[in-house]
Amino acid sequence: MSKTPKQPQIATLLEGLPYIKEFFGKTIVIKYGGAAMAEAELREAFATDVVLLKYVGLNPVVVHGGGAEITDYMDRLGLEVEFVHGLRVSNAQTVEVVKMVLVGKLNKDIVLRLNRHGQPAVGLCGDDGSLFEVTKQLVPDGAGESLDLGYVGSIERVDVDVLNHIAADYIPVVASVGADREGQSYNVNADEAAAAVASALGAYKVVFMTDVEGWLADPDDSATLISEADVGTVRRELADGKVMGGMLPKLKACAEAVERGVSYAHIVDGRKPHSLLLELFTDAGIGTKVRPADE
Ligand SMILES: Nc1ncnc2c1ncn2[C@@H]1O[C@H](COP(=O)(O)OP(=O)(O)OP(=O)(O)O)[C@@H](O)[C@H]1O
Ligand SMILES: [Mg+2]
């Protein structure tokens, strides 16, 4: 005799159903990084979540950074690590390490994990299929001049043709490096890369996984989580210079994606196992949601 399923389990499945209907066939870009990439248990949970998204008919596209591991390898090589406004200062040696660690190691680790969990994945970086065209990023210093962060790139153009080909059968996994027209490689912030990919694909959502609860009004107080904000509010806070560190490129990326047609951008706590599924398929919603201005 088969066991009668427990009510809470059925309730959970039923709670997910309207979301599965809403997202079916839609593209969800996931920026993977921070804690969810650093801990073995969280890495497995993340892979399970992404594979599940593909199985229930969504089109997940992963874009990843790898800040912690790049820093670790730079330390091992005795290279200096420096961040300005949340961006890694990148000389020629730094870019070489970034490319090796992101493309050679982390990208393949993610691909392998997704494969093992039952959905084949294909890894690529901005160079593959000319996905990204990058130019040197000029960062304003606040006094009318530009700061030189070295080979830190901005994405000029995204050609999603290669992604669309891959996504028909596989989960694309994109490492956030790319080159300019002369062939010089650049380190690209993964939040910016995720926003560029999401807008170019016309994604429904972009989800940024990070190692805090979300956007905090006071970075030192997790009780000050901003659970929802429209893009105008985000732009105002950015212009007021109130956003610091790694949250700066992340919130900029949220604003850019939503301004360019992505319906919603989310920042979720990647330290919580299965935060991706919780955000997408439950009523609870966690983290910060950035919505268009006119809602
Ligand atoms: N207002 C704020 N709210 C939340 N976090 C903030 C805020 N201001 C600064 N931060 C910092 O931003 C960090 C998140 O960005 P960070 O670049 O370090 O991680 P990530 O982008 O998730 O990972 P990675 O860069 O490795 O891909 C937080 O750990 C926190 O220290
Ligand atoms: Mg970051």
How many other C-beta atoms lie within 10 A of the C-beta of residue 116? Answer: 12
Alpha-carbon span 85 to 244, nearest angstrom:
7
Mutation test residue for ligand 1: of 211, 218, 222, 266, the one with most atoms within 8 Å of CB: 211
Q: What is the dihedral of CA 217, 225, 196, 263, to 10 degrees?
A: -120
The stretch 109-132 carries a mean pLDDT of 98
What is the rounded radius of gyration, in angstroms, for the C-alpha atoms of the chain?
19
Residue type at position 263: S
Distance 21 CA to ligand 1 centre (A): 32
Distance 117 CA to ligand 2 centre (A): 26
* Residue 138 in contact with ligand 1 by CB distance below 6 A: no
Least confident piece of the model among 47-51, 187-191, 203-207: 187-191
| Nearest partner of 250 among 210, 222, 213, judged by Cα | 210
Q: In which band, very low, low, confident or very high, does the pLDDT at 69 lie, cut at 50, 70 and 90?
A: very high
Does position 295 have pLDDT exceeding 60, yes or no?
no
Ligand nearest to the CA of 68: 1
What would the pLDDT profile of 88-113 be if each residue is shown by its tens digit? Answer: 899 999 999 999 999 999 999 999 99
Number of alpha carbons in the 13 Å side-chain half-sphere of residue 271:
5
Arithmetic mean of pLDDT over the chain = 94
Mutation test residue for ligand 1: of 187, 192, 206, 247, the one with most atoms within 8 Å of CB: 247
Residue whose Cα lies nearest atom 8 of ligand 1: it is: 244
pTM of structure: 0.94
